[in-house]
Structure 1
Amino acid sequence: MGSYKFAIKTLKSNFKESISYLCSMIFPIAIIFNLLNIMCNTEFTSKYSDGRSACSLIIFLLCLLVCIFTFYSNSHFVTTTSKELGAAALSGVHPSRLGRILLFQNTILEMAASFLGILLGFIMMPIFSKVMYLALNSSGNLFFISSGSLGGTLAILLLQLSYVSLGDYGYVSTREIIDLIKVKRKPPLNFKLLKFNPVTYAVFYFLPILFLFLSMLQKNHFDLFVRFSMTFSFISILGLAKYYIPFKILELKKDKYANSKLTLISLGNLHFSLKRTVLLITLLSGVIETLLYIMNVSNDPGLKVICVFSYITVLLLISSSIVYKFIMEMPSKIRTFKQLTLIGYIKPQLNTIINKEIFLLYSIIIGLPLIHFCTLIYMFVSSGKLSIILSLVLILIFLFIFLTGAFISFVIYKKSIFKSNDIGLNKFAL
């Protein structure tokens, strides 16, 4: 069988995973297209030429973030074809040929995502344009399309395809056949951090709250305290998600819940899922706090509009990435729950396991960044740099997006487990 036929056959055999990967790229492409379109709009460039460089920097960083999420999604997607690639390597296929297979698959999905993403971007364009004109106190064509936005979007997609394909080639060319068949893959990005005592990160986590009170007492050093708060927030959340919370989970399994079988399984699943969301939680905290900081230190309305759009985009990207992670992990979850049914676990018990896992995981995902985010918002509100209405809107948007993501993950999880033909449970109940 030729390489291209094998690539297409693999995409078809993993149809659900391929569609999920495709969908994970469509929305980011639509957002990037619209942000670049705003930057190239003559109305925007003529009125805010001074702040254009700062807006360009934010959009560049947002594009970089989109590329990171694409790499994250691709890493999950490749695991679905890893066994087929391992079987092909076992039959004597050279790694360079496996790399071409992945390149061909990525090209097909990227082209489809580009078309659908730009189409979705065009549909969303009136919303972006209307908000921009309102911020600029002007009016204009809601369907203005610049050649720069199309060219810039396609250039980013080409760059994205290049580094994803290089990463995939590095994966298949450096793994032993047994590793491919067993789907062993390191996380795409792994933050390195000095490994202090896990409790140290819990102490760091409360330092931003201390800086809040200090900023209220020493208003002359407000900006310095805000920067300290953001720095310790990033370090502490990374340390908590990577070291402290996993440490506490293992401690609870060993001591407090050693005799509670359902809780033990939920905590084990939580430990597994949390290890794969450390990157997302850390990026969520760092990016939204940075955008809030830029939004409040700048007096440029155009820059504020870009920051608000970027804030919503980041929340949607991270929330959808978590949902995507659940979808891609479903085959392994199904196998785990099938084993539980074989040893006598019944549907109410499986429901309890799933409910606890989803509740605990999203409590961590939402709670860790939100407490620091609200602290930072309060600092800006108390200093008069941020209105109460806008601060409430930002918090409500955060909660709405992630609670919606939690509900979608919950439904996908239960539906996949209880509708699976591999598990002898035919009824689905929330």
Structure 2
Amino acid sequence: MGLYNFGLRMLKADLKRCVLYVISIIFSTAVIFNFFNIMFNSNFSVIDSNYSMIYKMEALGIIFIAILFVFFCNSYFIMGKAKGLSIVSLSGISIYRLIELLLYQTFIIMIIALPLGLLIGISIMPTFILMMYKILGISDSVWIFSMQGFVCTIAVIAMEVFFLVLVNAGYAYKKDIKDLLAVEKQLYTPDKKSFKFAVMYLIIYLIPILLVPANLGEDSIFFIFLVITIGVYGAQGVIQYYIPYKIGNIKKKKYISHKLKLISFSNLNYSLRKTNFLVIILAISSVLFISLIGSYSKVSQLKAMSMFSYVVIMIFMSLIIIYKVIIEAVNRKKSFKQLNILGYSEEQIKKIIREEIEMFYCITIGVPLVHILVLLITYGKIGIISIASALVLLGIFIITFVVTAIITYRAYKKLILGSL
């Protein structure tokens, strides 16, 4: 069997993961095109020229998240190729041929996904422009295709593909056969950091709470944002060190003999390690856009654009997390099947999945929520954001991720129970 034929067979054998990866690239490409298209729209550039740069920066922020989405999905896609790559390595082919195989598979995916993403992006362009016009109070033709936006989209996609190729080639080059065989079997390994080190992150994470009783004015907006940013730095340590430490203690002291909670806690620990970066991006982006909404609350168009960007970011981050959990579920099929063989009933497996998802989303929602609440309360006290706006922003965040949790649980449960 030729190397390329084997590569195609590998893609077909893992069709579900490949389809999810293709969909992620299509969605990301469509979003990138539409935001570049609106950035170079003459109406978008002219209106409120004093704030046009902020509009563009918000659009670039969403484009960055869209690119991040693809790279995150690629990391799971490449991990799924580990077993096939190890089989090929055992046959004695050189590392360069192995890289060639992986790049061939990557290009197959890109050739399918990127044109479809551009076509879908162009097809939804009128609806997207109409929506943006309503936000910005513009009345004009929705059939405005920006060649500059299209060229920028192609340039970003080309860079994206280039770096994906580098990442995937580097992955194949660095991993030996033993590592490739162990990739999908790796469990959570506790960090060796001391408890005092973990508590230090918790203290940094809680520092922004001091803003609530503080006597601040409208001129303190930058200071508030700076303090919240410091808190976000602490948040990554809380997720990476403090929470795993506490979960480890709970497992040892309370649930060491509990056959359901022990598994759900172990799965949670692994999921948190994989999601740490995402939660930090979620925290930073939510705080940043809430700050923009508060800072320009008197500029209705900019406030509306920031609100729209905030919603898009929340949806994007929720989709990334859903993708992550679904891929984890695909990877855990065999483990749950073994539990079923050992005597675990479907109801017990459902309970393990439900407990894991409940705890996972409590942490995913709860960690950024503390800083969001502090920011909204502080902005409300100094009068730069109304109670109604604060409740809307809070509601968008909570509702988006509660709905995401429900979707995630159902998808996770369906995948696992369908494999038993």
Superposition map of 1:365-404 within 5 A: 365-404=364-403
Q: Equivalent residue for 1:149?
A: 149
Distance apart, 1:195 and its partner CA: 8.8
Superposition map of 1:65-104 within 5 A: 65-104=65-104
Q: Equivalent residue for 1:237?
A: 235
Q: Equivalent residue for 2:254?
A: 256
Distance apart, 1:221 and its partner CA: 5.3
Distance apart, 1:300 and its partner CA: 5.4
Deviates more, 1:348-357 or 1:359-368: 348-357
Q: Matches of 1:150 and 1:212 in 2, distance apart?
A: 46
Q: Equivalent residue for 1:40?
A: 40
Q: Matches of 1:186 and 1:143 in 2, distance apart?
A: 51
Q: Matches of 1:244 and 1:287 in 2, distance apart?
A: 23
- Give the partner amino acid of 1:332: N
Q: Matches of 1:401 and 1:162 in 2, distance apart?
A: 33
- Give the partner amino acid of 1:109: I
Q: Matches of 1:9 and 1:230 in 2, distance apart?
A: 49
SS in 1 for 2:29: helix
Say which of 253, 271, 274 aligns to 2:272: 274
Q: Matches of 1:232 and 1:194 in 2, distance apart?
A: 21
Distance apart, 1:184 and its partner CA: 6.3
Distance apart, 1:82 and its partner CA: 1.2
Q: Matches of 1:182 and 1:237 in 2, distance apart?
A: 30
Distance apart, 1:246 and its partner CA: 0.4
SS in 2 for 1:360: helix
Given that 1:266 and 1:353 are in contact with CA atoms closer than 8 Å, whether structure 2 keeps it comes out as yes
C-alpha deviations, 1:176-235, integer Å up to 9, x for none?
112112226999xxxxx9995212222223221211221xx1326522441233223211
Query: Does 1:313 pair with 2:312?
Result: yes
- Give the partner amino acid of 2:165: S
Query: Does 1:346 pair with 2:348?
Result: no
Q: Equivalent residue for 1:134?
A: 134
Q: Equivalent residue for 1:58?
A: 58
Pairs aligned (count): 414
Name stretches of at least 5 consecutive residues in structure 2 with no aligned partner.
188-192
Q: Equivalent residue for 2:175?
A: 175
- Give the partner amino acid of 2:393: L
Distance apart, 1:277 and its partner CA: 0.6
Q: Equivalent residue for 1:201?
A: 201
Superposition map of 1:286-297 within 5 A: 286-297=284-295
Distance apart, 1:168 and its partner CA: 0.6
Given that 2:333 and 2:416 are in contact with CA atoms closer than 8 Å, whether structure 1 keeps it comes out as yes
SS in 2 for 1:260: coil
C-alpha deviations, 1:89-128, integer Å up to 9, x for none?
2212222222222223222322332233233333443443
Given that 2:195 and 2:242 are in contact with CA atoms closer than 8 Å, whether structure 1 keeps it comes out as no
Deviates more, 1:107-116 or 1:13-22: 107-116
Given that 1:265 and 1:353 are in contact with CA atoms closer than 8 Å, whether structure 2 keeps it comes out as yes
Q: Equivalent residue for 1:210?
A: 210
Distance apart, 1:367 and its partner CA: 1.3
* Percent identity over paired residues: 33
Given that 1:44 and 1:302 are in contact with CA atoms closer than 8 Å, whether structure 2 keeps it comes out as no
Distance 1:27 1:237, change over 3 A: same
Given that 2:293 and 2:303 are in contact with CA atoms closer than 8 Å, whether structure 1 keeps it comes out as yes
Distance 1:65 1:185, change over 3 A: farther
Structure 2 length normalisation: TM-score? 0.91
Given that 1:20 and 1:327 are in contact with CA atoms closer than 8 Å, whether structure 2 keeps it comes out as no
